[in-house]
Structure 1
């Protein structure tokens, strides 16, 4: 067969909509079986095994640390080989980690399971998905990135009830083994069959390192400001995810009311991402990042000063929703697709490490100063993030437009 005949007989490459949907589904399953797992399984595991709850949950933090450490390597690998093999490997790692958890008879084996899951999270959750889309579609990846975050926002909605049902019917070990099977029978085939095999040739792999060396003064400054903003954003979101109910109850709310108000965050995240998809897509991604940090700051400030926390949580949730988008689209808009995977990995590592450590630091701050002290620190950190993003906007104007190959 001639090369033309061979190309004509090859299966069609999945289009952006198919790829976005595929990655959206695997993000739901990936987040649901890793990041959102301890919320449902931690207490049953501690009750069944007798292991301290602090260590059962703390193992998850070890997993996040591993996720941050592997992120730069994941990004460089995606730049070189494309996202398909990396995402497929992530499904295998998550399955192996889940199987290790389900079969763990001792606490060290349980911790090992979370270390494996951490590697799977680093290779398969948002940052890896964003790097894959940026590698495939360049600056046109923005709509796909927004679409993936819309799907990902449903992870807790889908998997918390599923996890609770599995624990009730099969026990926590059975739940882990079912999630391992889902990764191998659903996520792995999706990654292997629906993420395009072809890697667009934009530059040689060595150009990624060369670009990092040749970043000029203004681009370096922009990179520092962006990295600092992402770290602060990760600290805030991870602390709120763990300590929100404590902060609400410190405002005089009972547990049931606090839980009901906390449930407003999820719908607000999804709603803000839909607005970004329909309206914000026409604006530069820096507008998205600006909106995210301003909304989060207003939400936290209102949470600190008013008794009724509903509007505060809606504002915070809306800001957090588009923050997830901005962390993928702003680096692509400012620095282009060349070396995008490596850049995403570099930015993700300190943010993920901070996310792993900050809930424990938040708990310590509550112990020594009370919930009010923690909330005050969060408001100050969020206000600082507004300053960093405004400085980033000024710096971005000094960056020469990045030429992107078609």
Structure 2
């Protein structure tokens, strides 16, 4: 693990296993953004001295975000949240298409930011929306997309990684199919960017959402990748900032935070120049070392995640069931159902752990996760699910303690 060995926000609290919900702000990110909350207060659009540093910082941050996802800096549009970036992508593409009845395709386990935007497009812009099913592993079958595409399809929106199960969708295959029918492919990569390698050229996506608070930046910092040549209707009208797609004076501090977080993530993923050179050398001289270098933070988290799974499976034989794909998922995410105890009851019995379920509580009544339900899980299994997601400050000791607590609570 790179960076600080501990985080002040986690000191004295429960073991944090909810990194997919949000992440602690990395102290290095805080340090980088602080001058833009104090000394460098100028408007980036100002032509005088006070605007120079914020403007330069803004563009440096744009380049850092672009480097993380393999884009050009001019293709990065800063937004205030992932939900806003999704709105800009979906609404922007539908309106810009000029189609009288635009067809949008998404899938059943998508984030509500996409699903509810699709519903709004139906209500307000006469869009026709197709929601593709997923299999028991939570993945979209490319054949289902191929069957749904038609001449009116303007946009396909499928997330890179599911926030509950970590399932990694076959984005490159889906993008190729969309392009065969002249449609754009939008990918919400909120959970993927910074956790695994994301390259917009390799994926073939036209639009991609990046979210800061999922990778150790503050909430309120996000971005949308917009491939050169893609036309979008602006999400905010006014002064023409962000390529005319999102008006409003830019928040240089949050942009710097997102850029710094992206740079740190790139280093953890081995995407920095020094890391590239080291891997090339290791491949020639020591293949085993090369594999270790390529692994980086994802390999560390995978090992911790799998250790947690093994401990639970051995401590609760026959009772623990994995939800989602065994291999094709995020390295930090473990979603399991434990027979004989509801997810929210399990977490209530383990206050030394901070984790989550996918179920919702309405007036004291819990309802199953829509994601797990769409995957075909029974209500009992879905209600028994807990999501345990790891991150930068997760340690082997955390895993041992968490597993012991969960096993004891499930056998009490």
Q: Normalised by the shorter chain, which TM-score bucket? A: under 0.3
Q: Which has the higher strand share?
A: 2
User: If the length of structure 1 is used for normalisation, what is the TM-score?
Assistant: 0.26
Q: Which has the higher helix share?
A: 1
User: If the length of structure 2 is used for normalisation, what is the TM-score?
Assistant: 0.25
